[in-house]
Chain A
Amino acid sequence: MRLYEFEGKRLFRQFKIPVPEGVVVGSAKEVYDAVKKIGAPVALKSQVLTGGRGKAGGIKLADGPNEARTIAEQLFKLKIKGFLVERLLIEPKIDIKQEYYIGVTIDRAKYKLVVIASGEGGVDIEETAEKAPEKIIKKALSIDEPLYTFDALAIAKQMGIPQALIKEGASIVQKLFKMFRSYDAKLVEINPLVLTGEDKLIAADSRVSLDDDALFRHPDLAEAGIEKRHEEGELTPRERQATDWGIPYLDLEGNIGMFPGGAGFGIMGNDFIHHYGGVPANFMDSGGGPSPERIAKMLVLLEENPNVKAIFGARFGGISRCDDFAKGVIMFLKDHGLSKPMVMRMTGNMWQEGVRLFEEAKAEDPSLMAKVEFHGIETPIEEISKRAVELAREAK
């Protein structure tokens, strides 16, 4: 999960990495006082959870508080890759003499942490990596290995940091590495690390992604308002609802509600729907061993989504039990009701018990399953996918 620039910089400050003294504002009317406090000229930086904001016009300079307020009014109307700007970070304008790059990430294939640095930071760092790989410094480390001072000094020298600041530069590399380890990060970047006109090093931007699965170790983040979110962008209202219910869910643009089992078939089931000419309305993952309540909630998300015209359901019981699955579907049908056609297949762990529950429910109230087409292991999943596409077409 990605952090906003200002959140990343708060962590930088916590690790004593130098950052500009900034103020975060949520409306244009706060800008005047903020600029008065900081002192003009200032940079107004849109806070969005996506890259490329500079090129999208999300960063502007202002020479005084009145100009800053006018610019801020425009920025608060801006959408960057579809994300509305809701906050600005206002910082003193930095006099840039040189831009460096420092990052730490994980090389998943080699199972190592990698410190990356370059004397040529800024927006074109990836192009540099591709065209002039000799300008990129990489240092791979095992998860428990420290980044020693002598290694950090070597990195700072290779970056071309001036001799007078070499210890300071090495220390920033070490602090960034320490922050990466301490906060279970997937990625931390200072890009650029700026050498200012006054010959000071300062982190002008932050890019931080943390491992949501390790948030339990960092309760201080939740206290600072940093909670589970996407790698890019904020959640839609329905995604927010699903997250509150503990269900991994993404809104997509189609009309077939996807109600699959695990994440793997969640992804491939969507491919199958496309393959047979349909478009899914969502991605969803039940997680391992969902309770009947959770199954029912998954269906509520689809029933209440006006874009959904037909529902595709699939359950191959592994850690999940088909009887729990059937209980959840029946719970939903009884308590909430289904207005959309649904085709589903159920097999695997405890499938006979699941079938028995469906048959009992149907015997009790034949109307309950009226909208549900139910299949077992005898029908290949490809047929279920085709049928869901047909149902969505008929419903249009």
Chain B
Amino acid sequence: MAILVDKNSKVMIQGITGGAGKFHAERMIAYGTNIVGGTSPGKGGQKIHERPVFDTVAECVSETGADVSAIFLPAQFVKEAAIEAIRAGIKFLVVIPEHIPIHDMLRVREEAVKYDVTVIGGNTAGIITPGEANLGIMPDIAFKPGRVGTVSRSGSITYYVADTLTRTDYGETTCVGLGGDPVLGSTFAEILLKFEDDPKTKAVVMCGEIGGVYEEHACEVIPNMKTPVLAMIGGIYAPPGKRMGHAGAIVEGKMGTAQQKLDMLAEAGAHPCKTFTDIPATLKKLGV
């Protein structure tokens, strides 16, 4: 078991003929990910890495049965590409590019909720279910099948956490990159609940950072979870956050500093960790 992707997922790449899309498609295939095809408008009928290229996602879905897509396109094209994928019947969408306009992501989220599609990113390194599927840009060297799930706003933190879990023989069920942009396709709370439903995941490491509100909202689900949650928050020593005017404070309340996030998570029942080496120590204490 795993969450969101496994060896049976039929994965397509939007932007498969572009530099990054082509390079990482090859890596994903080499890992054993079931890549069934991709899109690149105007290049329908061509092949890349022996996979068919289509002009539209709808064609790719109907010809290959793709149910998962990863977007490797410049940020300004993401809104349309995501809506295209969602309407074509893709059930899980990974948005790799960074710097996507916030208003565009709000639109994508609307569409995703309407069609019951899970979106992660933008600015995510992707998702990996070790030994089954690697979808995105994560280096497989850090990962090994195991029993701990991870969800992080940062790609590099995911690698370090997985590297730690791998070298201490815990291994990982699935590692999810939530994304680093200010407005994200999914929240920590939503991903934590998916891990809660996965019998193979014995603990979850969530890594947040200064700014935003998604860590705070995870506190609403953690108290009701049976699976233990370990929490790391980046930016404890960062210079004071940039406030977003009165309106931000009125809407989001006094949220956002790393220490506040960590305190709130601890109060909700998560186990705080300061360095990567704290993670295996905590897992040991919890008997995972």
Q: List A residues at the B interface (Cβ < 8 Å).
A: 51, 101, 103-109, 111-114, 116, 125-126, 129, 136, 138, 142-144, 181, 184, 186-187, 189, 191, 207, 209, 211, 213-214, 216-217, 230-232, 250, 252, 260-268, 270-272, 274-275, 283, 287-289, 314, 316-319, 347-349, 351, 377, 380-382
Contact = CB atoms under 8 A, between A and B. Distances in A.
Given A114-B251, A217-B101, A264-B153, A209 B107 contact: no
Given A116-B250, A263-B154, A268-B234, A209 B244 contact: yes
B239 interface: yes
21 contacts: A108-B252, A109-B213, A109-B214, A111-B110, A116-B250, A125-B250, A189-B246, A214-B102, A214-B103, A264-B209, A267-B210, A268-B157, A268-B207, A270-B237, A274-B237, A288-B137, A348-B139, A348-B142, A377-B141, A381-B276, A382-B275
Nearest to B209: A267
A267 B234 contact: yes
Contacts, number: 208
A322 B24 CA distance: 14
Interface stretch (B5-13, B61-69, B179-187): B179-187
B212 A316 contact: no
Nearest to B106: A143
B106 A316 contact: no
A265 B154 contact: yes
Nearest to B180: A263
B236 A274 contact: yes
Interface of B: 20, 24, 27, 75-76, 96, 98-104, 106-107, 109-110, 113, 125, 136-139, 141-142, 152-157, 159-160, 163-164, 180-183, 187, 207, 209-210, 212-214, 216-217, 232, 234-239, 242-252, 258, 274-277
Contacts of B99: 213
A301 B156 CA distance: 22
A274 B258 CA distance: 14
B183 to A, nearest CB: 5
A103 B246 CA distance: 8
A111 B109 contact: yes
Contacts of A108: 182-183, 212-214, 252
B240 to A, nearest CB: 10
A249 to B, nearest CB: 13
A187 B152 contact: no
A381 B246 contact: no
A271 B233 CA distance: 10
A146 B268 CA distance: 38
Nearest to A270: B237
B249 A111 contact: no
B272 to A, nearest CB: 13
Given A184-B103, A289-B20, A275 B153 contact: no
Contacts of B238: 267, 270-271, 283
A114 to B, nearest CB: 5
B248 A187 contact: yes
B277 A107 contact: no
Contacts of B160: 265, 316, 381
Contacts of B232: 268
B249 A103 contact: no
Nearest to A251: B239
A318 B20 contact: no
A71 to B, nearest CB: 27
Contacts of A129: 246, 249-250
A262 B160 CA distance: 12
Contacts of A381: 160, 276
Nearest to A288: B98
B94 to A, nearest CB: 13
Nearest to B244: A187
B242 A232 contact: yes
Contacts of A143: 103, 106-107, 110
B182 A264 contact: no
B183 A111 contact: yes
B236 A116 contact: no
A214 to B, nearest CB: 4
B231 to A, nearest CB: 13
Given A108-B213, A318-B137, A126 B155 contact: no
Contacts of B142: 316, 347-348
Contact of A271 (B217, B235, B246, B251): B235
Contacts of A264: 152-157, 180, 207, 209, 234
Contacts of B159: 316, 318, 348
